[in-house]
């Protein structure tokens, strides 16, 4: 039987890949996309120019509003028709200045969406995309089912996602929680798809910091990147970070494949459960540093611990651009498994192993697609 599916965050990196997968697996369903602006609608129409209006419908709203910013008629229609809710939207900012926005979007937005679900005639389950980092800074393994203790969070993003999970778990209705680790581009095409947050944001910060420094000396990282045959540019760049830090990365196509497989194949067996989507192979700090060097075609990046003594002008420049990401370079991600997904999906729960070669190629793909092909507009901003 065809479903009516409400999706938040369908214009974001993970959300649009999820919608692609849902359309592929469940083409007969109707998808209602909650968006805030006409610009967001235009992005959707460009991505799906041939999609019929009765299959892909735009609903204007705002998670930060206590009634989701819905018109009375739209809210009545949703309450009458929605069978399933995918909650992917959220603020992912690591900046302290965005703490209020993070709470409004991630915590209050989840609460207001639950209010809507409670009023829906069909009792729709909420499939909530959280993050593996609700565990905060911890050395112990993280269990899937249940909420980790409220611990040391690196930033308001982690805290508000933890609080959003808590709000969802207090609710007595049907829900499923997914916790992906750091999401990168497509495992096969390596395409970052315009994403500039998380690891890509860190890479971009390093690139901008190096470029801004070189520019004051009459040089250009952008010009250097356009010459693939050029020898690596020598830099002396000490960065905050631990060489033994282990980080967990997964590819976006694996994430959405598992999201949809759990929802479509497991059905009621998944309700009330939490599913980690993590990589069995982690990346160590030294390998991350080498990947940054190869992606930017430079030599001389070194992680030196939790502070840089007497930083140079270059090192201060890079730190300014990468400061929000620094807490992730110090502490390792805790051990984790995908036991719940593996029990339900078997081999289909496997993800592409994040080898040093794959990781480097993914970072280099970002440089080629987002820096070089865009005529250095990031650097010129």
pLDDT at position 151 is 78
**Do 92 and 238 fall into the same domain?**
no
CA 172, CA 174: separation in Å to the nearest integer?
7
| Within-domain flag for 95 | yes
Angle between helices 198-215 and 313-322 (to 10 degrees): 150
pLDDT at position 171 is 93
pLDDT at position 132 is 96
| Within-domain flag for 34 | yes
> According to DSSP H, which parts of the chain are helical?
13-25, 38-47, 72-81, 99-102, 109-119, 156-170, 198-215, 221-225, 252-261, 285-296, 313-322, 326-330, 339-345, 356-366, 377-380
- Give residue 170's Cα distance to chain centre: 25
**Do 235 and 366 fall into the same domain?**
yes
- Report the number of distinct structural domains present in the chain: 2
The model's pTM is 0.94
| Within-domain flag for 134 | yes
**Do 64 and 103 fall into the same domain?**
yes
**Do 174 and 221 fall into the same domain?**
no
The domain in which residue 365 lies consists of 198-246+282-333+353-380
229 or 350, greater pLDDT: 350
| Within-domain flag for 292 | yes
CA 319, CA 346: separation in Å to the nearest integer?
43
Q: Which two tokens stand for residue 198?
A: 């998380």
**Do 174 and 210 fall into the same domain?**
no
**Do 172 and 26 fall into the same domain?**
yes
Q: What tens digit of pLDDT does each residue of 3-13 get?
A: 999 999 999 99
**Do 125 and 227 fall into the same domain?**
no
| Within-domain flag for 253 | no
Q: What tens digit of pLDDT does each residue of 119-130 get?
A: 999 999 999 999
Instruction: Report, as an integer, the average pLDDT of 103-130.
Output: 96
Burial 164-177 (b: 16+ CB within 10 A, else e): bbebbeeeeebbbb
**Do 295 and 374 fall into the same domain?**
yes
pLDDT at position 49 is 80
CATH code, domain carrying 13 = 3.40.50.720
């Amino acid at each position: 039987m065809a479903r009516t599916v409400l999706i938040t965050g369908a214009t974001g990196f993970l959300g649009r890949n999820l919608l692609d997968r849902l359309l592929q697996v469940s083409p007969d369903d109707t998808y209602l996309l909650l968006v805030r602006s006409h610009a967001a609608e235009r992005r959707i129409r460009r991505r799906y120019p041939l999609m019929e209006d009765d299959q892909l419908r735009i609903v204007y709203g705002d998670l930060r509003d206590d009634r989701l910013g819905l018109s009375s008629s739209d809210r009545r229609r949703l309450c009458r028709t929605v069978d399933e809710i995918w909650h992917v939207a959220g603020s992912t900012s690591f900046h302290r200045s965005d703490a209020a926005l993070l709470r409004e979007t991630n915590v209050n937005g989840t609460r207001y969406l639950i209010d809507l679900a409670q009023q829906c005639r069909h009792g729709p389950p909420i499939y909530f995309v959280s993050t593996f980092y609700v565990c905060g800074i911890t050395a112990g393994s993280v269990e899937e089912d249940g909420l980790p203790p409220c611990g040391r969070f690196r930033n308001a993003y982690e805290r508000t996602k933890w609080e959003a999970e808590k709000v969802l778990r207090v609710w007595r209705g049907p829900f499923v929680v997914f916790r992906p680790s750091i999401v990168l581009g497509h495992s096969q095409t390596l395409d970052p798809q315009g994403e500039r947050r998380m690891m890509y944001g860190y890479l971009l910060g390093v690139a901008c910091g190096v470029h801004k420094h070189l520019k004051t000396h009459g040089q250009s990282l952008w010009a250097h990147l356009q010459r693939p045959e050029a020898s690596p540019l020598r830099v002396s760049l000490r960065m905050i970070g631990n060489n033994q830090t282990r980080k967990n990365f997964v590819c976006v196509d694996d994430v959405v494949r598992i999201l949809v497989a759990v929802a479509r194949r497991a059905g009621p067996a998944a309700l009330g459960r939490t599913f980690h989507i993590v990589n069995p192979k982690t990346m160590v700090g030294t390998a991350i540093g080498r990947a940054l060097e190869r992606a930017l075609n430079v030599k001389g990046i070194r992680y030196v611990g939790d502070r840089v003594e007497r930083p140079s002008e270059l090192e201060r420049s890079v730190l300014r651009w990468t400061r929000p990401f620094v807490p992730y370079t110090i502490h390792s991600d805790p051990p984790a498994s995908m036991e719940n997904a593996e029990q339900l999906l078997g081999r289909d729960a496997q993800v592409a192993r994040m080898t040093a070669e794959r990781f480097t190629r993914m970072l280099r793909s970002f440089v080629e697609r987002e820096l070089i092909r865009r005529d250095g507009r990031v650097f010129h901003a």
